[in-house]
Amino acid sequence: MTIEDLKTQNLILFEAISGSRSFGLATESSDTDIRGVYYLPKEDFFGLNYIPQISNETNDITYYEIGRFVELLQKNNPNILEVLASPEDCILQKHPLMDLLKAEDFLSKLCKDKFAGYAVSQIKKAKGLNKKILNPVEKERKSILDFCYILHHQGSVPLRKWLSETGKIQEHCGLASIDNTKGMYALFYDESGILRYKGIMQDAEANQVSVSSIPKGEDSVAYLFCNLDAYSTYCKDYREYWKWVSERNEDRYNVNQQHGQNYDSKNMMHTIRLLQSCEHIFKTGSMQIRVDNREELLDIKAGNQSYEAIMKKAEDLIESIELYHTTSNLPDFPDLEKTTKILVEIRERLYLK
């Protein structure tokens, strides 16, 4: 089933403009996100063709089946609660039965974990982005050779430097493990290649050094240490960094580079907005979708505030949320029995018509 099917079969119960435009934070370059609710034809719902969610290819238009929508509301999902509480001027269509679903029937102290918890995860993500921007990983991938060192007097020298200075090649080296040590090897060298040592690594993608069979009587020429832990960490950072590069939104990345604050300013704007929304829920027991501090939030999006200032603002909001949470009259959890009965009533009336 597609979005077009929902429209042609008149299955849409609710449809609204969401995201920046509903928050009052849209600018000329803002996309128009659509979120909605639908119900399935009776034979699909009672049969084997239950479809909980339908989106377009870019996910900027998404519809939720009514049961899935209520399930997410019961979990105090921030995005879904914001859809239900959409400002009137953002609602494109609304079936009368949707009036049975009211935000106040779902708001609970669970919002602290869902709203603030999600915001904290975004802050961690922003810190990770900050690290990626400030510490780019070179495209040319290092090999395990770059994490090997030759013991020299009371210190060590990088393996590559030692190979270069001694005129040796890694393919003619043979390593033998040293008992009761971690990462330490005796290094043997076969100038002729007759002994067929395996070399220090067999290929550039090797995740550990190679150990060779060493004939009795051979003398080692050096001792090698392989920092395998550092190499594993590097491989993880390399994968994550270049995965981020391949998936990042170049327009947003260029904006972030231009303002020079080393964080995703749009993401942090919405993180602060989400924390402020959570604070409002516990202060008033209600939701506020349209922000009343548009200029402040757009100032964050423009990158006019330092990374440290944004983190301080977030920490202050989290502290305030904790305080209001303890004094809030909201229930610990939504009334599952009541809201499930509402869902059942909506379904009955839809399928009996």
* Residue at 97: amino acid letter: L
CB atoms within 10 A of CB 47: 10
Strand ordering across the sheet containing 222-226 = 155-158, 148-152, 222-226, 184-189, 173-177
Q: Please state the rounded mean pLDDT for residues 151-166.
A: 96
Cβ–Cβ under 8 Å, residues 188 and 221: yes
Percent of the chain with pLDDT over 70: 92
pLDDT at position 218, please? 95
Q: Please state the rounded mean pLDDT for residues 62-91.
A: 97
pLDDT tens digit sequence for 92-110: 999 999 999 999 999 999 9
Q: Please state the rounded mean pLDDT for residues 325-337.
A: 96
pLDDT at position 305, please? 87
Encoded tokens for 232: 């594993």
Q: Which residues of 274-302 are buried (b: 16+ CB within 10 A; e: fewer)?
A: bbbbbbbbbeeeebbbebeeeeebbebbb
* Second CATH level (architecture) for the domain 1-106+334-353: 2-Layer Sandwich (3.30)
pTM: 0.67
Percent of the chain with pLDDT over 90: 76
pLDDT at position 255, please? 47
pLDDT at position 132, please? 60
What residue spans define the domains of the chain?
Answer: 1-106+334-353, 110-136+248-330, 144-234
pLDDT tens digit sequence for 196-241: 999 999 998 899 999 999 999 999 999 999 999 999 999 998 998 8
CB atoms within 10 A of CB 34: 21
> How far apart (Å, rounded) are the C-alpha atoms in residues 158 and 149?
4
pLDDT tens digit sequence for 297-320: 999 988 888 888 988 999 999 999
pLDDT of 279 higher than 50: yes
pLDDT of 250 higher than 70: no
